Amino acid sequence: MTEHVSDRLSRKASRHVKERIIEFLLFGAAAFSVFITVAIVYVLVKESWVFFETVPLSDFLFDTQWTPLFDDAHYGIMVLLSGTLTSSGVALLVAIPLGTIIAIYLSEFAGFTVREVAKPFLELLGGVPTIVYGYFALTFITPLLQKFYPDLPGFNLLSAGLVMGIMIIPYVASLSEDAMRAVPMALREGSYAMGATRLQTALWVVTPAATSGIASAYILGISRAVGETMILAVAAGMQPNLTFNPTEPGATITSYIVQVALGDLPHGSIGYQTIFAAGLTLLLMTLAFNLLGYWLRKHYREVY
Amino acid sequence: MNADKLQRIRSIILRAKRWDLFFTLLGILSLMVGVLTFTVLFVDMAIQGVPRLNLDFFTSFPSRRAANAGILSAWVGTVLVMLLTALAAVPLGVAAGVYLEEYAPKNWITDIIEINISNLAGIPSIVYGLLALGLFVYYFGFGQSILSAGLTLALLILPVIIVATREAIRAIPQSIHEGSYACGATTWQTVRDHILPYSSAGILTGVIIGMARAIGETAPIITIGALTFIAFLPPAPFSGEPPAGLFDWIFAPFTVMPIQMFNWTSRPEAAFAVNAAAAGFVLVFMTLAMNGLAIYVRYRLRKNIKW
């Protein structure tokens, strides 16, 4: 048993050890992603815990004022949430219809060349830094809107939301298109054979078959909108404002965090902890959307 | 009677064709909304900003007077932060992607890692900023430095690189693996000599796209507390008080391009808006160039490789 046929084979043991070490290192890299999630949850919960020892949860959820940096401090997250929901609502009103139409057009109507040009272009549109979109909303869209609606304040949720919508179109369009293209050709051919037109096939055969993919594209769009920061910080003003009227200025959860980070709050103060409580709220919201998307994919998936 | 029926069928076909045409136009129109917005954004910024672009703009520090202000500290900061981001994210991301494609057994640990990565991609960037503020800035004590910013952006683009690596590896036919194993190669030898070289173009595409995203990220870097007014450069290697080292700059305070632009955008004076436009133009140009490069690499890849 001790004699090896050749000395090359005798190195097998060391070779095996080396393989195991490399595998372990690579596993470490993959497991590191889990560590990131754990660290995010740990940091947010730890700082928020201290915050909720001072501020009761009921105040956080039901107070209608958000003035954490004033002497008369109120911590009503509803105020920030209203800004987030309003701006996201405007953005989705733009992104979901336009994104879906573009997806249907590219997948069912457009020729090969149009698609080959349009898809990379959409990617470029999605790659523009959001601070640039913010600048565009503030210096171009808001003055443009003021021409039609002179009472619009210089900072408002409407123009930020509109530009955010344009920013999200590529995500919605690209993912929905992928889902539609994955629908097997036989379904389309069957529909055409029955005398259906392109539009009828697209709307009543392809779209229903791709529902789960389209739904997860929408969910991704929603979580992009909720998490978007710089467009709102630049163009929507940063005054906390409990409103669902998009023509008013407002702060969102994300723009509040930016506002505090720009100031000089001492580490460990209650103001410093508010941004972690706000961040935890944001994380829980996006987590809920992610879970919803996961569930939709699982339950409405059509397998061919 | 027959002619009547034919007439009816014809009118139905005509109506259907009209609807098809209508939707085609609607589709082109929607696409145009995107194209037009982008064109207007780019041209508007170019008209305002390009006259401001001269050598002085790239070699001056920010200043209280808009006409003298430049982006020297901003672009140097961006380059250094990107360097650290790439150094941290590329090895980690590629290693994780290789593990998941080539090594990972089918069990619950792998499932958790996979679900976790797709989850990470959906977390807003500002939450990464909060993580970095708690972890890098205060817990590890890196402070509000280039190191903190580089690592933050590395975490942010890690999912992009992992997913790109996995897709590039999955595009390699199984027969390559089998051929390599049949010759007696170990898993690592197969990965090192075959999988990594053949997937390198695909991985590169993912890395470029990830870096293009990182270059424009503003929110997480503001959150860790990057300063908006920096009128000095990070120390060059071996330049400070002894014992000065090669890597003193990683602990230096810094600013980056998007933050400089944000700073100028949020000032009321019109002259600073011009500076913001100029900085924005440079920023968009950089991201466009990087994305264009990625698209080109992918195009070449699709054209050249026939397994």
Task: Give me the pLDDT at residue B297, please.
Answer: 85
A109: nearest CA partner in chain B: B24
Residue B297 burial by CB count (10 A; 0-12/13-18/19+): exposed, middle or buried? Answer: middle
The first and second tokens of residue B185, run together, are 């190669």
- Summarised one tens digit per residue, pLDDT across range A65-104 is 888 877 778 888 888 999 999 999 999 999 999 999 999 9
**Packing angle, helices B257-265 and B72-98, rounded to 10:** 130
Model confidence at A3: pLDDT above 60:
no
Is the CB of residue A102 less than 8 Å away from at least one CB of chain B? yes
Smallest Cα distance from A219 to chain B, Å: 10
Across chain A, which distance is largest between two alpha carbons, in Å? Answer: 93
Q: At the topology level of CATH, where does B53-304 sit? A: MetI-like fold (1.10.3720)
Smallest Cα distance from A197 to chain B, Å: 7
Contact B124 A36 (CB under 8 A): no
Model confidence at A8: pLDDT above 70:
no
Q: Which residues partner with A75 through β-bridges?
A: A66
Is the CB of residue A295 less than 8 Å away from at least one CB of chain B? no
CA nearest to B220, candidates A52, A40, A45, A86: A40
CA nearest to A236, candidates A255, A253, A249, A254: A249
A16 Cβ neighbours under 8 A, 6+ residues apart: none
Q: How far apart are CA B113 and CA B123, in angstroms?
A: 15
Q: How far apart are CA A14 and CA B226, in angstroms?
A: 48
Distances (CA, A) of B248 to A144, A198, B211, B233, B240: 48, 63, 24, 12, 8
A275 in Cβ contact with B132 (< 8 Å)? no
Contact B284 A33 (CB under 8 A): no
Is the CB of residue A138 less than 8 Å away from at least one CB of chain B? yes
- Summarised one tens digit per residue, pLDDT across range A193-239 is 998 888 999 999 999 999 888 998 999 899 999 999 999 999 988 88
Q: Which of B224, B225, B284 sits opposite A132 (nearest CB)?
A: B284
Smallest Cα distance from A36 to chain B, Å: 8
Q: Residue-wise over A245-276: b if at least 16 C-beta within 10 A, else e?
A: ebebbbbbbbbbbbbbbbeebeeeebebbbbb
Distances (CA, A) of B40 to A4, A107, A143: 74, 27, 14
Residue B232 burial by CB count (10 A; 0-12/13-18/19+): exposed, middle or buried? Answer: exposed
Is the CB of residue A31 less than 8 Å away from at least one CB of chain B? yes
Q: How big is chain B by its Cα radius of gyration, in Å?
A: 26
Contacts of B221 in chain A (CB under 8 A): none
**3-class DSSP assignment, residue A182:** coil
Domain positions in chain B are: 2-50, 53-304
Smallest Cα distance from A179 to chain B, Å: 17
Task: Give me the pLDDT at residue A11, please.
Answer: 62
Question: Which of B19, B28, B31 has the highest number of chain A CBs within 10 A, making it the mutation to test binding with A?
Answer: B31
Task: Give me the pLDDT at residue B149, please.
Answer: 92
The amino acid sitting at A25 is L
Contacts of A34 in chain B (CB under 8 A): 112-113, 116
Smallest Cα distance from B285 to chain A, Å: 9
The stretch A8-34 carries a mean pLDDT of 84
Q: How far apart are CA B221 and CA A119, in angstroms?
A: 30
Q: How far apart are CA A94 and CA A224, in angstroms?
A: 14
pLDDT band at residue A1 using 50, 70 and 90 as cut-offs: very low
Model confidence at B96: pLDDT above 80:
yes
- Summarised one tens digit per residue, pLDDT across range B128-148 is 999 999 898 888 888 888 999
Contact A105 B24 (CB under 8 A): yes
Percent residues over pLDDT 90 in chain B: 39
Model confidence at B295: pLDDT above 80:
yes
Percent residues over pLDDT 90 in chain A: 50
B122 φ/ψ angles, rounded to the nearest 5 degrees: -95, 0
**3-class DSSP assignment, residue B135:** helix
Residues shown for chain A: 304
Smallest Cα distance from B217 to chain A, Å: 7
B217 in Cβ contact with B258 (< 8 Å)? yes
Report for A86-90, B42-46, B118-122: range of highest mean pLDDT: A86-90
Q: Which of A110, A121, A290 sits opposite B119 (nearest CB)?
A: A290
A232: nearest CA partner in chain B: B219
Alpha carbon A265 to chain centroid, angstroms: 28
pLDDT band at residue B86 using 50, 70 and 90 as cut-offs: very high
Q: Please tell me the least confidently modeled range out of A59-68, A142-151, B159-168.
A: A59-68
Rounded to 10 degrees, the C-alpha dihedral B220/B226/B232/B235 comes to: -80
Is the CB of residue A182 less than 8 Å away from at least one CB of chain B? no
Q: Which residues partner with A66 through β-bridges?
A: A75
In chain A, where do the E strands start and end? none
Q: How far apart are CA A227 and CA B95, in angstroms?
A: 29
Question: Which of B41, B151, B215 has the highest number of chain A CBs within 10 A, making it the mutation to test binding with A?
Answer: B41
Q: Which of B95, B284, B290 sits opposite A25 (nearest CB)?
A: B95
Q: How far apart are CA A190 and CA A182, in angstroms?
A: 16
| Count of other CB atoms within 10 angstroms of residue A299 | 9
Contacts of B119 in chain A (CB under 8 A): 37, 287, 290
Is the CB of residue A226 less than 8 Å away from at least one CB of chain B? yes
Question: Which of A80, A262, A291 has the highest number of chain B CBs within 10 A, making it the mutation to test binding with B?
Answer: A262
ipTM summary value = 0.89
Is the CB of residue A24 less than 8 Å away from at least one CB of chain B? no
The first and second tokens of residue A157, run together, are 């949720």
* Mean of pLDDT over chain B: 87
- The label of the residue with tokens 């005798």 reads A10
Is the CB of residue A119 less than 8 Å away from at least one CB of chain B? no
**3-class DSSP assignment, residue A67:** coil
pLDDT band at residue A60 using 50, 70 and 90 as cut-offs: confident
Contacts of A143 in chain B (CB under 8 A): none
Helix then strand then coil, in percent of chain B rounded to 5, is: 75, 0, 25
The stretch A183-200 carries a mean pLDDT of 92
The DSSP output letter for B233 is P
CA nearest to A271, candidates A122, A76, A106, A68: A68
**3-class DSSP assignment, residue B123:** coil
Question: Which of A49, A128, A238 has the highest number of chain B CBs within 10 A, making it the mutation to test binding with B?
Answer: A128
The first and second tokens of residue A131, run together, are 């601070």
Task: Give me the pLDDT at residue A61, please.
Answer: 85
Distances (CA, A) of B298 to B281, B303, B304: 25, 9, 10
Across chain B, which distance is largest between two alpha carbons, in Å? Answer: 104
Contact B99 A23 (CB under 8 A): yes
Smallest Cα distance from A167 to chain B, Å: 9
Helices (H) and strands (E) in chain B, counts: 12, 0
Contacts of B91 in chain A (CB under 8 A): 29
Is the CB of residue A40 less than 8 Å away from at least one CB of chain B? yes
Q: How far apart are CA B159 and CA A30, in angstroms?
A: 10
B129 in Cβ contact with B227 (< 8 Å)? no
B265: nearest CA partner in chain A: A135
| Higher pLDDT pick, A64 / B205 | B205
- The label of the residue with tokens 């989705």 reads A92
Model confidence at A10: pLDDT above 80:
no
Is the CB of residue A276 less than 8 Å away from at least one CB of chain B? yes
Model confidence at B259: pLDDT above 70:
yes
